[in-house]
Chains A and B, each alone.
Chain A
Amino acid sequence: MAADPAAAPRQPTDSTNHGLRVVVAWLILSAIATPLVAIYVGPLIPPGNASVQAQGQVFTNQVMVSLLTPVLCLMAVFFGYGLLRFRVRRSEAVLDGPPLRNDPRVQILWIVITSAMVLFLAGFGTYELLKDGSGGGQGPNPIALPAGHKSAFQVQVIGQQWQFTYRYPSLGGMESNQLVLPANTLVALHVTSLDVVHSFWAIELGAKADANPGVDNVAYVETKGPTVFHVRCAELCGLWHGYMFNNGRVVDSAQFSSWSAQEQRIFASIKHYVNRDAPFAHIYLPDPARRAG
């Protein structure tokens, strides 16, 4: 009777401690790679330093990538060593390996280490989030309130198909096409929409908040020095979603005053119509049936 190909004889076991080799190689590689990644790669991860929240995100990314580097190193060492060492040449006969089904110590070690990492990441993430809100939209009742939020500079971001406009309640309820923010100021962005769901994303400032119709989505951003930043819509909103962008600026107080004076002059002629039809409010619910006949 021909030999059953599925029940091959066993390869004789060898007594090298492969596990020790892998662990040692992994520890050495991690010890080298992790500091390099933490110091050189981490700070390069966007969004950059244009706002306090963006800086916080960079720090969070830095910590996460440093924590994940040993995981990558383990995979690299394990597979590199294992696939090379335990491979079989094509021409050799098919032999079975050792019938290793379980090792509770390995299981427990793995579960403990992965759980610890996960819990650390969740705790660290929560701490970083609650510290300053990280620039994300928190809905009408934000809980991650940065210091000084009570006197934050209020800017309303109105998303509509397909442009963002900005209202400044402290500047006479003025509305503008341009987003200009004063430097070194905590800004409270109130993001809302007039029709479908958009998402306001100030890329370099690290701020993103969905614009939902009938909802006031609050995000905090603390600006730093003067800079130019880009605003893009990050939620598919129809035909011109890809073109729904503009540039924003953070400027020092003198420039901000002159800009706001100029915008208010432009706004003056439409001001009473705006106050008649859509006085400043945290949400607007335009009639959905509004259409031409």
Chain B
Amino acid sequence: MTEAAAVRPSPPLWRRLLGFNVLTGVVLGIGGWYVGWFGAHAVVGPSLDYFGDIDYNELSVYLAYLGGVIGFLVGMGFLNYPLARLRGYPPSLREKEEAGWTRYFSLCTDHKVVGIQYLWGIGLFFFIGGLNAMLIRTELLSPHRQVFPAGTYLTLVGMHGTMMMGMMTSGILGPFANYLVPIMIGARRMAFPRIEALTFWLLMAAGAILTTSIFFGGFPTGWTGYAPLANQANPGLDNYVLFFALVGVSMGLLGLNMIATILTMRAPGLTWTRLPIFVWGVLSTAVLMVLAAPVLIATLGMVALDRTAQTSFFLPAAGGSNYLYQNLFWMFGHPEVYVLALPGFAIVLEILPVFARKPLWGYRLAVAGLLGVSLLSWFVWQHHLFVSGINGDLRPFYMLSTELISIPTGFTFLCGMMTLWRGQIRFTVPMLFCLAWFFNFLVGGLSGVFLSDVSSDVTTHGSFFSMAHFHYTIMGGLVFTFFAAIYYWVPKMTGWQLNERLGRIHFWTMFLFFNSTFAPLFAIGFLGQPRRVVTYPSGLQFLNDWVSISAFCLGISMLVFLFNLVWSLAFVRRPAPANPWASRSIEFQLPSPVPVHNFDRIPVFSGDPYGYGEGPVPSLVPAGSPAGRD
């Protein structure tokens, strides 16, 4: 019996609600939280507090949330398959892949469902992080009036940064790699479908942990969590530690899954030089994820030990070093920002050929660029520490390595630009977002050149200039391509078209107000406003007000997008054709939405998907295969 026929008819709704799903997950999660909380209080008591009674038992916060996460995962049903196998049941790959909307709220091993779950989950937390950004800009409207008390403001800043960095790490790999990589390599599933689902639900649990940190006093350290300030913080910092640790686990497993899938499950004929550039981008990102996540988890473990077990990894007065934290954090942190940037490169290079109707120019150079960025990202992290008192001999080396990374980044620019050259350019909404990427990442990258020069960095480090730099590269780079990917692939994923006019309004307002918000920040930084401050010199008020108002308008442009989403997917529901963009890529040769089993027969590849102008799309079904055989 082929896998195609293994999809069971869906059970009735009441049966589906009764099984393991989000409802049982939340209930068991809350139960687990209380078990952890009271368990820690009963067993440990306040004796592990630092030097005296501080009203909080830090260990109980950790154990409570860990109990909550374990309860949540058990309630989602992640223990079922391991227990079944222990009891001798044969291996099975199918869980909840039957039709029905409830599979989106449970553990489902269909990679396409996980992709769509990721899209909505990350979208939700993206908007929460964005809300915090609006509140931050509200506070910065005036240097004298305090809308939020100073301590709460720092928590807002930390929540915005942490939420965005943690969630958008999987921003493109989560939704789009999960959905598309098996299809693009001609497989029916990922290598480890249950781990795939685990990465998603772990991320959701992590997001819930971070949003509840305000109930524990928030945290004053920003997303970088520098010790020793982290040791002084309220228990809200424990939420931050757990959030990032779970994000690290999710990230590492996601990367692992991608690598295993891409390496071992490619269909016949799909050699490395025929792989879609998107898959190369996913691979280079996944390698970074797998290698960087353990560093993060270990560092956060040390922070947790410092806060609960009276160790002093990061306390100089007790024998530790704050430099240890900074170096470990940035050893993760720098590859992390390339985890954010590389998928953007991959998406741009994937989409540009379709809307320029030309092959991807310089395929090998583009791959070299992606892998080069991935490799070099390990050698630059101390550029975050130029003025922190590191050994002076190191600084010229890190200046060189940081500048060198602009060379492979330039390859992406060259390949993209030459793909456009002499093309037949169609300005569809995904194309507009990809073109905006060139502008945004150019500004971001060139400002990075200023930051990489130590002399210039003396003034711009820790100021709004560096904030403008990373918002241009991360938001201008990743978030714009995130929307490009949404407009490009959502018709394929859902089977409904998105409204093009609303998409254009969203794009132009977002592009205009994004630049209006972040461009003045370069000036504000140079003029002397440090990061994460709740007040600033009065002379900078005009610029700050301009930025705040633009930020509010940027927020409104996101509402246009949300309106488009709800309008098109819930009300208008115009069916999308299988290939709305006339793309040669394999996912567009399949129906919209893609059926559960992906392919009727595993395809055989004879070229890359960029053969525009080189003839008809080759048939991907092996000729002469009898029906019913793979």
Contacts and interface: CB of A to CB of B under 8 A. Distances in A.
Interface stretch (A146-154, A213-221, A250-258, A266-274): A213-221
Interface in B135-156: 150-151, 153-154
A57 B456 contact: yes
B392 A102 contact: no
Interface in B496-544: 526-528, 530-537
A285 interface: yes
A10 B612 CA distance: 9
A141 B536 CA distance: 33
Contacts of B458: 53, 57, 134-136, 206-208
Given A97-B356, A134-B458, A243 B531 contact: no
Interface string A135-148: 11111111110000
A145 to B, nearest CB: 10
Contacts of A78: 417
Nearest to A126: B396
Contacts of A143: 392-393
Given A118-B407, A129-B455, A138-B389, A208 B462 contact: yes
Contacts of B457: 136
A48 B534 CA distance: 25
Given A101-B360, A235-B226, A236-B221, 4 more contacts: A6-B589, A57-B459, A138-B389, A230-B537
B391 interface: yes
A199 interface: yes
B528 A208 contact: no
21 contacts: A6-B579, A6-B582, A10-B613, A64-B450, A68-B449, A79-B438, A94-B357, A100-B361, A101-B362, A101-B610, A103-B418, A115-B407, A122-B399, A134-B455, A136-B387, A136-B458, A139-B390, A203-B528, A208-B387, A213-B317, A237-B229
Interface residues of B, number: 103
B425 A137 contact: no
B526 A46 contact: yes
Given A7-B615, A118-B407, A137-B387, A215 B316 contact: yes
B606 interface: no
A168 to B, nearest CB: 21
A87 interface: yes
Interface string A113-130: 011001001100110111
A136 to B, nearest CB: 4
Contacts of A286: 317
Contacts of B50: 289
B427 interface: yes
Interface string B440-467: 0010001001101111111101110000
Nearest to A199: B462
B574 interface: no
Interface of A: 4-8, 10-11, 13, 18-19, 45-47, 53, 56-57, 60-61, 64, 68, 71-72, 75, 78-79, 82-83, 86-88, 90, 94-103, 106-107, 110-111, 114-115, 118, 121-122, 125-126, 128-130, 134-144, 195-197, 199, 201, 203, 206-210, 212-215, 217, 219, 230, 232-243, 285-289, 291, 293
Interface in B204-258: 220-222, 224, 226, 228-229, 232
B420 A232 contact: no
Question: Closest 9 A-B residue pairs measured CB to CB?
Answer: A242-B533, A214-B316, A134-B455, A234-B462, A217-B389, A99-B613, A143-B392, A242-B534, A139-B389
Contacts of B222: 236
A201 to B, nearest CB: 7
A36 B301 CA distance: 53
B115 interface: no
A47 to B, nearest CB: 5
B376 to A, nearest CB: 12
B523 to A, nearest CB: 9
A233 B456 contact: no
Contacts of A135: 458
Contact of A196 (B229, B386, B459, B615): B229
A241 B407 contact: no
Contacts of A7: 584, 615-617
B621 interface: no
Contacts of B229: 196-197, 236-238
B365 interface: yes
B317 A285 contact: yes
Contacts of B356: 86, 97
A223 B37 CA distance: 58
Contact of B423 (A57, A86, A201): A86
Nearest to A122: B400
A7 to B, nearest CB: 4
A141 B417 CA distance: 46
B106 interface: no
A83 B425 contact: yes
A95 B454 contact: no
Nearest to A289: B51
B611 interface: yes
A4 B463 CA distance: 54
Nearest to B150: A239
Given A94-B357, A118-B404, A288-B315, A234 B450 contact: no
| Max chain A Cβ within 10 angstroms of own Cβ: one of B50, B390, B530 | B530
B532 A241 contact: yes
Contacts of A95: 357, 424
B396 A129 contact: yes
B333 to A, nearest CB: 15
A96 B459 contact: no
A283 B51 CA distance: 24
B179 interface: no
B422 A97 contact: yes
A241 B389 contact: no
B358 interface: yes
B359 A47 contact: no
Given A235-B462, A289-B51, A201 B361 contact: no
Contacts of B322: 196-197, 212-213
B455 A56 contact: yes
B531 A236 contact: yes
Interface string B372-409: 00000000000000111111110110011001101100
A283 to B, nearest CB: 9
B421 A86 contact: yes
Contacts of B400: 122, 126
Given A46-B527, A242-B150, A234 B461 contact: yes
Interface in B343-379: 356-363, 365
| Max chain B Cβ within 10 angstroms of own Cβ: one of A208, A214, A215 | A208
A235 B531 CA distance: 8
B435 interface: yes
Contact of A97 (B423, B527, B589): B423
Contacts of B52: 291, 293
A143 B392 CA distance: 6
B387 A288 contact: no
Contacts of B357: 8, 94-97
B81 interface: no
Contacts of B127: none
A197 to B, nearest CB: 6
A148 B283 CA distance: 53
Contacts of B617: 4, 6-7
A10 B535 CA distance: 60
| Max chain B Cβ within 10 angstroms of own Cβ: one of A87, A210, A212, A243 | A210
Contacts of B611: 99
